[in-house]
């Protein structure tokens, strides 16, 4: 019974992290789409809200990915701790695990690029902009080029997150 309770808690946390991994790029994508209606011209207040929101989501993404790993490892270890063996899985379940892990690793690579390469540069560029002043055209162009790159990466991350959700459904496939 303790094993089932622990498994249930780990699975609940795992599912919350799965939803969070899909929700963050989905909502960021919608925010960027709405901002895109104003064109590639700086609107200081609007762009500050967009940057603060998107970059403020980064810690949540990291927590969701870490939770996915911890609970994903915790569930089989829970089985092993109580039964003394890992659960035998069907080939479909193994394929789902491998594909899910590939999606999660791809998301981690994308997150690394966004969080440690693109976002810091966007922060540097945005710090040069002043409310009510016309930005230098080169900086503004680079700012929106980086934003477009981040948007494309977030779109790709969303596809991988959907893959994680889909493949998760097949992990319980029984023989």
Range of the domain at 27: 2-169
* The total number of structural domains that make up the chain: 1
Gap between the terminal Cα atoms of the chain: 24
Residue 174: predicted pLDDT: 67
Does the residue 175 lie in any domain?
no
Cα angle for residues 53, 133, 29 (degrees, 5° grid): 25
Does the residue 109 lie in any domain?
yes
Does the residue 36 lie in any domain?
yes
CA distances to 76, 92, 110, 154 from 118, rounded to whole Å, are 36, 37, 10, 12
Does the residue 112 lie in any domain?
yes
> Could you tell me if 168 and 96 are in contact, meaning their C-beta atoms sit under 8 angstroms apart?
yes
Does the residue 144 lie in any domain?
yes
Residue 28: predicted pLDDT: 85
Does the residue 29 lie in any domain?
yes
Nearest to 111 by CA among 145, 63, 67, 143: 63
Per-residue confidence in pLDDT tens, the chain, 175 aa: 999 999 999 999 999 998 888 888 888 888 988 999 999 899 999 999 999 999 998 888 889 989 988 998 998 999 889 988 888 889 999 999 999 999 999 999 999 999 999 999 999 999 999 999 999 999 999 999 999 999 999 899 889 989 988 998 898 876 5
Does the residue 81 lie in any domain?
yes
Residue 27: predicted pLDDT: 85
Does the residue 174 lie in any domain?
no
Residues with Cβ within 8 Å of 18's Cβ and at least 6 positions away in sequence, in order, are 68, 164, 165, 168
């Amino acid at each position: 019974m303790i094993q089932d309770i622990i498994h249930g808690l780990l699975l609940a946390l795992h599912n919350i992290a799965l939803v969070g991994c899909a929700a963050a790029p989905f909502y960021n994508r919608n925010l960027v789409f709405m901002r895109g209606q104003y064109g590639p011209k700086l609107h200081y207040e609007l762009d500050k809200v967009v940057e603060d929101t998107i970059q403020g989501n980064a810690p949540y993404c990291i927590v969701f990915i870490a939770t996915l790993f911890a609970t994903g490892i915790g569930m089989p270890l829970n089985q092993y701790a109580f039964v003394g063996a890992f659960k035998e899985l069907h080939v479909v379940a193994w394929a789902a695990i491998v594909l899910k892990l590939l999606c999660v690793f791809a998301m981690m690579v994308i997150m690394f690029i966004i969080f440690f390469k693109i976002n810091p540069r966007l922060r540097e560029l945005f710090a040069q902009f002043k409310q009510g002043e016309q930005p230098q055209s080169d900086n503004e162009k680079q700012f929106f080029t980086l934003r477009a790159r981040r948007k494309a990466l977030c779109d790709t991350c969303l596809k991988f997150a959907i893959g994680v959700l889909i493949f998760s459904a097949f992990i319980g496939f029984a023989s």
